Amino acid sequence: MASASSTQIVMTNVWKLRLISMVSGLKRAPKIPTVILGILLAFGLFGQWLAPHDPISIDLAKSFTPPVWHEGGSASNILGTDKLGRDILSRVIIGSRVSLALSLTIIALGGGAGVILGLISGYSGRKVDSLIQRGVEVILAMPTILVALVFVFTVGRSFESVMFILSPFLAARFTRIVRGETLSIRERDFVAVAKVIGTPSWMILLRHILPNVFNTVIVLATLEVGHLILLEASLSFLGVGVPPPHPAWGLMVAGGREFISSAYWIALFPGLAILFAVLSINLFGDWLRDTLDPRRRQL
């Protein structure tokens, strides 16, 4: 009993130390991407107070107002307005919410499922492993955008349907990587020792293997957020994202497509928002990978 409680203490200390080192490590993070991510997060959380205008209120008198540095631009709509006179800046700010909420939910659901499946697949071996791996292969062989397009178009556009159809694809990517890690950790001595003293499999997975794949999972999750933002934007561009009038970046670009020769700003700025968001997430993720998980340079 005494040994069990002391492992408990050691384990919680490991997680606590890890948390402390993560927080203090953030100080060394690359500055510009971290700042952009902070701004993005602020947009997502406090957008309704930061946006200068109501993102969905229509004002036809102001339609196609160019950005402030153009002739005819006004200071009240710094980045101009769209066909219906809605403020582009406000829509870009509020639009971050859909991208962030959706990609983080999918990371939590799909990524979580992928970690569990990857652990089971890597640890159990043989039949269970090959069954899970065939499933992963099939999912990865499906054209994501096309399958999502069909699914969302049939069941209807909503936050939930996009979430539901993209999660398995993410789970498959997580499963593959976590399985690979588990396979190598399974062979290590401390796992063998744990087995010898009769530790149940679930506890070995939870206490001995999971903490060792944790870094990889964090890095992968960060890099996949960027990938998901792009995917969500593509779906939304094709008209099967979260439905209007909620502003979503992809949908805004699609809306500006008709007016590329007369009002380029409608398509330009939401695209720049996607670009900066994904760019800073990727730079941040790269830094995180180099710090936490230097073996996986190619992740």
169 and 135 Cβ atoms separated by less than 8 Å: no
CA atoms within 13 A on the CB side of 80: 22
By CB under 8 A, residue 124 contacts another protein: no
Contacts of 78 (CB under 8 A, 6+ apart): 52, 67, 68, 89
**CB closer to another protein, 68 vs 238:** 238
- Angle at CA 102, nearest 5°, toward 157 and 179? 115
Torsion of CA 168, 172, 174, 179, to 10 degrees: 140
Please identify which residue in 68, 78, 101, 230 interacts with another protein, judged by CB under 8 A.
230
Q: Two tokens at 198?
A: 């009769």
By CB under 8 A, residue 39 contacts another protein: no
Instruction: State in angstroms the smallest separation of the CB of 283 from another protein.
Output: 7
For another protein, the binding residues in 144-183 under the rule CB under 8 A are: 144-147, 149-151, 153-155
**CB closer to another protein, 53 vs 250:** 250
Instruction: State in angstroms the smallest separation of the CB of 92 from another protein.
Output: 13
Instruction: State in angstroms the smallest separation of the CB of 158 from another protein.
Output: 15
DSSP 3-state of 87: strand
By CB under 8 A, residue 70 contacts another protein: no
Listed residue (40, 47, 158, 45) closest to 94, CA to CA: 47
**CB closer to another protein, 16 vs 134:** 134
Please identify which residue in 2, 75, 141, 197 interacts with another protein, judged by CB under 8 A.
141
217 vs 210: CA distance, rounded Å: 9
Please identify which residue in 4, 31, 71, 143 interacts with another protein, judged by CB under 8 A.
143
By CB under 8 A, residue 134 contacts another protein: yes
168 vs 61: CA distance, rounded Å: 45
By CB under 8 A, residue 10 contacts another protein: no
Question: First and final CA of the chain: distance in angstroms?
Answer: 41
Instruction: State in angstroms the smallest separation of the CB of 186 from another protein.
Output: 12
Q: Two tokens at 160?
A: 């939930």
Using CB under 8 A, list all residues that contact another protein.
134-135, 137-138, 140-147, 149-151, 153-155, 226, 230, 233-234, 237-238, 250, 253-254, 256-257, 260-261, 264, 267-268, 270-271, 274-276, 278-279, 282-283, 297-298
